[in-house]
A and B are shown apart, each in its own frame.
Chain A
Amino acid sequence: MAERAQRRLGGRWLGAALVVGLLALVEAGVRAGAINAALVPPPTDVVRRIAEILISGDFIAPLAATLYLLFIAYIGASLLAIVLGLVMGRFPAIYNLFEPLVELFRPLPKPALLPPLILFLGLGDLMKSAVVGLAVFFPVLINTIQGVRGVDPVLINTARTFGYGRVAVLRKVILPAALPLIFAGLRVSLALGLILVVIAEMLAGTGGLGYLILDMQRTFRVQNMYAWLAILAVLGYGLNAGFLALEHRIIHWAAARPE
């Protein structure tokens, strides 16, 4: 056990060392003049700018704007997808009704929907929420359907034996049993949602991280651009880590199962 931990630790340090090594290479290249400093600033300057942004608190407003858009659309679309997925997975008639429609929209790369959405919904928050919601909806829906279908029939029959009605079976047996797969879908959707929110902000934003990154490029403030990019990367990482922690608490029984 200790040996395995040591091997895992050795691996992680190696990866971190590679990242630091690459950054040092870039730093040396820019200072020596081999890389154009106006296009690729020295990483130490970018780190300094990130510190400035964090200390001054300038990051709070754009971060809040991006997260607000993301969460509203994410929670709304996920809930909708879980509900629809539950009934579609459980009742074949409903599945057959919606499946062609789902298969029509699911394969579409959601950024491609931005132009028609802009035409219908304008350039405001509604359009941005819609495109993020659409991106979040489908992975959660598909995974919910699969999760429902994969529920052990023994569980359902046992519940029936105890006199549970249809709705009770759905709510108390099927939903919890399908949660591991649903959470897998939710995690994928979180990443997709973040991507779409950044794209939407670049295309039609008024604030937020995507808007700022584009703005900094427009004004050639390259150091700021990379700084905000780094902050966005940390946000993505943080969201994923937070989600994993939440997942482990809610479906603790799934973690106990051998992978």
Chain B
Amino acid sequence: MRVKTMALAAGALALVALAQQPALAETTKLRVSTIPIIDTAPLQAAIAKGFFAAEGLEVDTTPTAGGAVGLPALAAGQVQIAFSNIISIVLGAKQGLGFEIIATGSDTGDTAPDLAGLVAKKGSAIKTGKDLEGKTMAVNTRNNIIWLYGRAWVKATGGDPDKVTFLEVPFPQMIDATAGGRVDTAFVVEPFYSAGIAGGSVQHVAWPYNVVQKNIPVGLYAATKSYIAANPAIIEKFNRAYNKGVDWTNKNAGSDEWVKILSGYTRLKPEQLKGLTIPPFQKTVDPARIDKVVELMKSNGLLEGSFDSKALVYKTALAK
């Protein structure tokens, strides 16, 4: 009697499992770790406009405070693709974590205003890196691109980066932290920069990226070598859908629909996002530009020895 019941139950389970199979084969679920900043607008646009769905991909985003937080999740296999700043990707690749860049995110362009600005409390006297000695700068995480270029700016404007204290504050909280006096300055990316300036509680100090280096490949999408080798088709599909998102963003930046998408994932009000200007998003990355970033990392003691930037980029992110 018991054996019969068990056989029936097993049969029912098998039927249910078989019934599920065709549905699973149609869409692939992809977990992508993101940061709720302007850099990931093309990804969010591609999701909102259904470009991923058209390629049979269901993208599930996990917001984090920065690439330095998302990449460990990538290494552990919790996410398949991570959006991260270039510094953290290089550091992880150097330590043998097998990261490879599969899509380009944001680029700083060659003129100011760019993606991220340094702000201070309204009425502050801080103008140069020298003024920042003995004071604090908020960065989203340490040892990443914001931290590195913050230090480089301090040095470039006459200060000693080692005399500045860098405190970790997530991007969405930076304006409040600066206005409230918890930090003296904050190196904050769009759209939080414009929202903060428009709010009137903080004032602009500088464009650190632009002062130090032009055309920095700031944020990119990375996956692990093993995942890419096992799923090249999925990577191609992701890339196609994502690049459609890049095209759409470059064409529709500033439009109401774009503001709506941006407001949705950054949780800022649409009024704060109007009038946002950003450099155009790219679809490929030039390894020579990554080399320049690596040079800066070496001179700041973040990297030792040689690094092959060309090997870091998968073919989907290289110019044909």
Give residues in A with beta carbon < 8 Å to B.
36-39, 118-119, 122-123, 203-204, 206, 215, 217-222
Query: Are B92 and A218 touching (Cβ within 8 A)?
Result: no
CB-CB < 8 A to B156: which residues of A? none
- Are B68 and A38 in contact, CB atoms less than 8 angstroms apart? no
CB distance from B187 to the nearest CB of A (A): 16
What residues of chain A lie closer than 8 Å to B310, measured between beta carbons?
A: none
Stretch at the interface among B4-12, B103-111, B136-144, B234-242: B136-144
A219→B167 contact, CB < 8 A: no
B159 contacts the other chain (CB 8 A) = no
Contact of B143 with A215 in the complex, beta carbons under 8 Å: yes
Question: In the complex the two chains form, is B183's CB within 8 Å of A38's CB?
Answer: no
- Interchain CB contact (< 8 A) of B96 among A38, A122, A215, A219: A38
Q: Does B91 sit within 8 A of A, measured CB to CB?
A: yes
B76 within 8 A of A: yes
A123: B residues at CB distance < 8 A: 136, 167, 169, 177, 182-183
Nearest chain B CB to A38 CB, angstrom units? 4
Chain B interfacial residues counted at CB < 8 A: 28
Which residues of the other chain, B, contact A37 by a CB distance below 8 angstroms? 96
Q: How many contacting A-B pairs (Cβ < 8 A)? A: 46
Complex Cα–Cα for A118 and B180 (A): 11
Considering the chains assembled together, what is the distance between the CA atoms of A219 and B67 in angstroms? 11
> In the complex the two chains form, what is the Cα distance from A217 to B180 in whole Å?
29
CB contact between A218 and one of B98, B143, B167, B181 (< 8 Å): that residue: B143
Give the top 4 A-B pairs by smallest Cβ distance, nearest first: A220-B95, A38-B96, A218-B68, A218-B143
Contact B144 A204 (CB under 8 A): no
Q: How far is the CA of A38 from the CA of B224 in the complex (A)?
A: 13
On whether the beta carbons of B143 and A206 are closer than 8 Å, the reply is no
Asked if residues A206 and B142 are in contact (CB atoms below 8 Å), the reply is no
B143 touching A38, Cβ below 8 Å: no
Q: B142 touching A39 by the CB < 8 A rule? A: no
Assembled-state Cα–Cα distance A219/B97 (Å):
12
Are the C-beta atoms of B141 and A218 separated by less than 8 Å? yes
- Most-contacted residue by chain B among A119, A122, A203 (CB, 10 A): A122
In the complex, 5 of the A-B residue pairs with CB atoms within 8 angstroms, ordered by the A residue number, are: A38-B98, A39-B75, A215-B142, A217-B72, A220-B95
Residues of A within 8 A of B144 (CB): 218
Contact string against A for B residues 64-106, beta-carbon threshold 8 Å, 1 for contact and 0 otherwise: 0000100110011000000000001001101111100000000
Cβ of B168 under 8 Å from chain A: yes
Query: Which residue of chain B lies nearest to A223 when distances are taken between CB atoms in the complex?
Result: B95
Shortest Cβ distance from residue A229 to the other chain B in the assembled complex, whole angstroms: 15
Inter-chain contact B76/A220, CB cutoff 8 Å: no
**A122-B95 in contact given A204-B167, A206-B165, A217-B72 (Cβ < 8 Å):** no
The residue from A39, A122, A204, A219 contacting B168, defined by CB atoms under 8 A apart? A204
Q: Is residue B13 within 8 Å, beta carbon to beta carbon, of the partner chain? A: no
Q: Tell me which residues across on chain B come within 8 A of A36, comparing CB atoms.
A: 75
B276 at the binding interface (Cβ < 8 Å): no
Would A122 and B181 be within 8 Å (CB), given that A206-B165, A215-B142 are in contact? yes
Interface string of B41-59 (1 = CB under 8 A from A): 0000000000000000000
A123-B167, A123-B183 known; A221+B95 contact, CB < 8 A: yes
Q: Does the CB pair A118–B182 fall under 8 Å? A: yes
Residues of B110-135 contacting chain A, CB below 8 A:
none
With a cutoff of 8 Å between Cβ atoms, the chain A residues found around residue B75 in the complex are 36, 38-39
Measured CB to CB, the closest approach of chain B to A200, in angstroms, equals 12
CB distance from A121 to the nearest CB of B (A): 9
On chain A, the residues within 8 Å of B141 by CB distance are: 218
By beta carbon, the residue of chain A nearest B173 is A118
Q: Is B14 an interface residue (CB 8 A)?
A: no
